[in-house]
Amino acid sequence: MITLTIDHIVVQVPEGVTVMQAAGSIGTEIPSMCYLPGHFNHPSCMVCMVRDAQSGKFFPSCAMPVSEGMQVITHSPEIREMRRESLELLLSDHAGDCEAPCRLSCPAFMNIPLMNRLIASSDFEQALQVVQEEIALPLLLGYICPAPCEKACRRKPLQGSVSICLLKRTTATVTKSREKIAEALIRPSGKKVAVIGTGPAGLAAAFYLLRAGHQCVLFDKNDQAGGSLRYDIPESRLPREILDAEIRVIQQMGAVFEMNRTITGEAFEDLVKEFDAVILASGERSQQPSGFPAINTHTMGTSRPGIFGCGAIVRPTGMAVRSAAQGRVAALETDIYLKSGKHKKSGITFHSVITHLFESELQEYLKESIPGPRTEPQSGFLAGFSAEEAVREAKRCLRCDCRKSSGCKLRILSDEYQANRKRFTGPERKRLTKSMQHDLVVYEPQKCIRCGLCIEIAGKEKQALGLTFVGHGFEVEIGVPFNQTIKEALILTALECATSCPTGALAVKELTIDN
């Protein structure tokens, strides 16, 4: 047995064990990308750097064998900086979008590409579920949203952007059982929340509160619900039966609407006492009583516990979808407040982004799409797409989001270590390519971090050609011997390679709902 210390804790492990394994034995996790137990490609990524306390030297913990009397430090500001730097270097040589530009430009961060794929496979129910993860009012917004997503769509130069906004509306129109889907999600929590205002922010907040199982009462000074949607937007843009239908969904989910109720400062204090939480969604601040507290634009919370805000009261949003997105955030924050009082770790905010696509790259992206111009609905904009039209239009999506957007270690760690993807940049960005020949996996070499794990996994298979490093140094790439295709390289190990790949370079081709 070898005795060493890891972060000043004495550890005893058998000889031959690595520092990373020794750390694991006391529950200290060290990040890594290239390391996979049982393989010998590592160390390569150098994210698992730790420090020798005696010499001050850094070394990769995944490969360093323990030795008697070693003193290892696994976490310190310097180590964090080294790890961040290795991530930033890898990012400087990594070309790809974590998320599609449409999603990034959507104020609600809706998973548009996934919706498109589900529509393309005619699965409208699933598509609606995906939409409703971020968009409570798909039908309504399908009419009035200015669709910043379509301006960012990579398909734009290829005969027009994908008609995202209409596709989103179609998920609500084609699906018959929308309310049922919503109802089925409700699990009562026993908590009661007041929402002041029934505009896009208030309605969206109510939707997500109800989905989380909270009782919800909406207050509005007008006699009909809808706020700015009803009173500011002309009927020619938003037919009132559409607005009513959207409100009906929320009603059917259990929301109570208290109309003609102007909430003054006094009445507000009563609500605070009566309800477990209050969400302010009552429109522009100038028209509000003075008793409302100021709202934090990031968390939608206020200085007073249990009181949240969203929509134009925070700051004029100019877009119903932005108000609705804030309504969702306020509802989620309220939910956290009501359930545990604790914040769970918020989602990933790191995005690898390529701004402009080169002509050759557009052609690469077209490999996953169909040619042809943007579909115009036969029956006009107000009627929207038929299911068939929607399927065809959805197939125009280029699938420019990353297949590993949620499983990519480079992304997860870059997020964790707050890596700056622009810190090191090369003079020229690599041109993206997509290798689609294989039935099971897609290869995008420009996302590769050259860890060589796939080479080793493929090497286990004797029947196929396997993979290899081609060249050396900065230019080194993963390639197939004799310039053959990935299809000939991987027969039995393709899926193993794809699931082991730490980035989106090798990914499973097949579409799955949880991506």
Residue of the chain from 339, 436, 459, 515 that contacts another protein (CB under 8 A): 459
Closer to another protein at the Cβ: 407 or 466? 466
| Contact with another protein (CB under 8 A) among 53, 479, 485, 491 | 479
Q: According to CB under 8 A, which one of 223, 266, 359, 475 is a site residue for another protein? A: 475
Record the tokens describing residue 431, joined without a space: 């041109």
Q: Whose Cβ is closer to another protein: residue 60's or residue 113's?
A: 60
Interface with another protein, residue 65, by CB under 8 A = yes
Q: For residues 381 and 211, what is the distance between their CA atoms, to the nearest angstrom?
A: 31
* Contact characters 425-454, another protein, x per CB under 8 A: -xx---------------------xx-x--
Query: Is residue 455 a contact residue for another protein (CB under 8 A)?
Result: yes
CA distance 399 to 504: 13
Longest dimension (CA), the chain: 79
Which one of 56-64, 96-104, 225-233, 345-353 is the stretch in contact with another protein (CB under 8 A)? 56-64
Q: Establish if 504 lies at the interface with another protein (CB under 8 A).
A: no
Nearest to 277 by CA among 254, 252, 301: 301
Concatenated DSSP letters for 36-62?
-TT----S-S-TTEEEETTT--EEETT
From 100-108, 272-280, 334-342, 478-486, span contacting another protein (CB under 8 A): 478-486
49 binds another protein (CB under 8 A): yes
Q: Does 469 bind another protein (CB under 8 A)?
A: yes
Interatomic CA distance for residues 24 and 61, integer angstroms = 11
Figure out which of the listed residues 69, 294, 424, 510 binds another protein, where binding follows CB under 8 A: 424
Dump the DSSP string for 355-417.
Answer: ----HHHHHHHHTTS--SPPPPPTT-TTT---HHHHHHHHTT----S-TTTTT-HHHHHHHHT
> No. of H helices and E strands in the chain?
20, 14
**CA 45 → CA 87, 227, 240, distances in Å?**
8, 53, 57
Q: Sort 42 into a burial class: Cβ within 10 Å, 0-12 / 13-18 / 19+.
A: buried
Closest approach of another protein to the CB of residue 68, in Å: 12
Q: Which of 36, 63, 233, 336 binds another protein (CB under 8 A)?
A: 63
**Which token pair is 90?**
């890898």
Q: Quick one: which segment of 3-11, 129-137, 381-389, 461-469 binds another protein (CB under 8 A)?
A: 461-469
Is the CB of 51 or the CB of 155 nearer to another protein?
51
Q: How far apart are CB 490 and another protein at their closest, in Å?
A: 11
Residue corresponding to tokens 């393709």: 494
CA distance 505 to 479: 12
Stretch that binds another protein, among 126-134, 243-251, 281-289, 421-429 (CB under 8 A): 421-429
Q: Which residues bind another protein (CB under 8 A)?
A: 43-47, 49, 57-60, 63-65, 67, 82, 85-86, 89-90, 92-93, 424, 426-427, 449-450, 452, 455, 458-459, 465-476, 479, 481-482
